[in-house]
A and B are shown apart, each in its own frame.
Chain A
Amino acid sequence: MRIKYLTADSNWQKRLEDNGFGFHTDENNVPYWIEHYYYSISPEFADKVYNATTELWQMCLEAVDHVITNKLFDQFQIPIFFHDHITKSWENDAPSIYGRFDFVYDDIKQQLKVLEFNADTPTSLYETGVTQWQWMQHYFRDRKDQFNSVHDRLIESWKELKPYLKGDTLHFSCMRETLEDLTNVEYLRDTAIQAGINTQLIYIDDIGWNGVNFTDLNEDTITDIFKLYPWEWLVYEPFALHIPNDEAEANWIEPSWKMILSNKAIMAVLWQLYPNHPLLLETYFDTPNGMRDYVKKPLLSREGANVTMYKNGAIVEATPGDYGEEGYICQALANLHQETTGYSIIGSWVIGQESCGITFRESNNRITTDKSRFIPHIIEE
């Protein structure tokens, strides 16, 4: 994998906006979307990511089963009132639509290592499935290829999921006034519509409770709902106490068993279950367990917040944030791929249980944050 440059259009921002991608540049005029260079990868490398993602997904399902069977919820700081809901969602095979693994690639060992699994509310879906694909069409037409069937897999997955819906309408929800979240949710809703599902958008704070069921703004019962809102936020809000009492037993997508996979504690559990597995980094709960080069991460941290990096036992890099009270994992320090433009990680999507596409995120520092840039990719011989 290596960076290649091209000559970007002078009006590329407008092209992206016309295609529904409005957050290509942040409020400080710093680009999030990179137009003028890309990652060139070989077909073999794309296959390597595909195979790693497929294998890890199966390992994660085993790990969820292990956590639920052994009632290890306390290690994940999941409140007691919600244990049964998670167990039930797992036993009932409650449908999941998507998730994204974040990998690093060690150039020396030529080895992928998973950093974490964004299993509950992964974003950058629109820029992966649509904007990245349109970028390739714009500059390369059909002459080049991408590891990217995200759009097709979403539509197919909704079709597969449709028979399991409990009602006639699938609601989609996110916070209001967040363009990035709305873009992701509306893209998912777009693909659900294309799969023949009736949909409605409702902001998360507009969800009602009538004493028996959750309701939309028409006072209709919500039977199935996709929420781009983390479970770990939901369950600590008083309204969540209604969820176990919901007579309709609404399908929540992602299902509540995904709480286990989106929690960084899963990385320590995976290491316990699959010690020294080549795709895993050595990881422990709370303490480094003798490691000198490691990263300390809060169990529920998002976008690289409150991450502290240690080398030879001393702090070399740290990020601010509001996480950490819930506990930590200590994960062996990974070697990140580095170009002159920055450090990069690979996001690999699982949609409808299949590995189906990748993204590259690039940072000036070794800790990936919400300031990290999105780099498109091309498969080339």
Chain B
Amino acid sequence: MNRKSSKAVSLVLITAALASCSKTPEKEENKEQAQKVYMRADSSAPYTDVTEQYNQQRHSSGGGMGSALLWYMAFRPLMGGGMGYASNGLSHQANVGNNTNKSNAVKKQTSARGGFGNTSKSSTVSS
């Protein structure tokens, strides 16, 4: 008989992970009262609401508008998907130019995201 039973079950991660998951999300009305922040990459691009990113960065790093994320966004390359506001009318090279800092910032975030996960927004995958 090869059937077995566990003699002990110990966990190292799960309890803490689930405790953090059960936090109540921020209420929508509070979001509405927050200061709105809009940015655009250049005069050819439409304005985009970046309030959420701005607040996240401000609270996490204290960096405000000079934070890494917004610095990156100001030099955002032309790529599809996700947040952003760079004009599709500009070439990647024109967006990066010869500015080394700008180029390095672009290199730091080069992935398109949000491509997976669209099939089911409301249910679990359970089977």
* Residue A174 CB within 8 A of the other chain: yes
**Contact status of A129 and B9, CB under 8 A, knowing A215-B111, A239-B115:** yes
* Residue A290 CB within 8 A of the other chain: no
Q: Would you call B115 and A190 a contact (CB within 8 A)?
A: no
When distances are taken between beta carbons in the complex, the residues of chain A under 8 Å from B125 are 121, 123, 174-175, 178, 181, 228-230, 233, 302
When distances are taken between beta carbons in the complex, the residues of chain B under 8 Å from A183 are 14, 18
* Residue A180 CB within 8 A of the other chain: yes
**Alpha-carbon distance A210/B108, docked complex (angstroms):** 11
Interface stretch, picked from A148-156, A160-168, A270-278, A310-318, is A148-156
**Alpha-carbon distance A148/B119, docked complex (angstroms):** 34
Q: Would you call B127 and A302 a contact (CB within 8 A)?
A: yes
Q: Which of B5-20 contact A (CB under 8 A)?
A: 5-7, 9-15, 17-18
- Identify the closest chain B residue to A124 (Cβ): B126
**Contact status of A237 and B118, CB under 8 A, knowing A151-B6, A356-B4:** yes
When distances are taken between beta carbons in the complex, the residues of chain A under 8 Å from B98 are none
Q: Would you call B126 and A134 a contact (CB within 8 A)?
A: no
Mostly helix, strand, loop or mixed at chain B's interface? loop
Sorting the interface of chain B by its residue count into under 10, 10 to 19, 20 to 34 or 35 or more gives: 35 or more
* Residue A297 CB within 8 A of the other chain: no
Q: Would you call A22 and B18 a contact (CB within 8 A)?
A: yes
Q: Would you call A229 and B12 a contact (CB within 8 A)?
A: no
Q: Would you call B18 and A186 a contact (CB within 8 A)?
A: yes
**What is the distance, in angstroms, from A130's C-beta to the closest C-beta of chain B?**
6
Q: Would you call A229 and B117 a contact (CB within 8 A)?
A: yes
Residue of A22, A151, A203 near B117 (CB, 8 A) is A203
Q: Which of B89-110 contact A (CB under 8 A)?
A: 108-110
When distances are taken between beta carbons in the complex, the residues of chain B under 8 Å from A89 are none
**What is the distance, in angstroms, from B24's C-beta to the closest C-beta of chain A?**
13
Q: Would you call B113 and A206 a contact (CB within 8 A)?
A: yes
When distances are taken between beta carbons in the complex, the residues of chain B under 8 Å from A118 are 127
**Contact status of A355 and B3, CB under 8 A, knowing A122-B127, A189-B13, A190-B13:** yes
* Residue B112 CB within 8 A of the other chain: yes
**Contact status of A20 and B18, CB under 8 A, knowing A175-B124, A186-B13:** yes
When distances are taken between beta carbons in the complex, the residues of chain A under 8 Å from B9 are 129-130, 133-134, 151
- The interface on chain A, measured as residues whose beta carbon lies within 8 A of the other chain's beta carbons, has a size of 69
When distances are taken between beta carbons in the complex, the residues of chain B under 8 Å from A238 are 115
* Residue A34 CB within 8 A of the other chain: no
When distances are taken between beta carbons in the complex, the residues of chain A under 8 Å from B12 are 190, 193-194
- Identify the closest chain A residue to B109 (Cβ): A219
* Residue B34 CB within 8 A of the other chain: no
* Residue A208 CB within 8 A of the other chain: yes
Q: Would you call B117 and A175 a contact (CB within 8 A)?
A: yes
When distances are taken between beta carbons in the complex, the residues of chain B under 8 Å from A303 are 126-127
Q: Which residue numbers of B lie inside 8 Å of A, CB to CB?
A: 1-7, 9-15, 17-18, 21-22, 108-120, 123-127
14 pairs of residues in contact across A and B, judged by CB atoms under 8 Å: A46-B3, A50-B2, A118-B127, A151-B9, A152-B4, A175-B120, A175-B125, A186-B17, A203-B117, A229-B117, A237-B117, A242-B115, A302-B127, A303-B126
Enumerate the 3 nearest inter-chain pairs by beta-carbon distance, A residue then B residue, closest first: A239-B115, A208-B111, A205-B117
Known A152-B4, A219-B110; 11 more pairs at CB < 8 Å: A118-B127, A179-B22, A181-B124, A205-B115, A207-B116, A215-B111, A219-B108, A230-B127, A233-B125, A237-B118, A239-B116
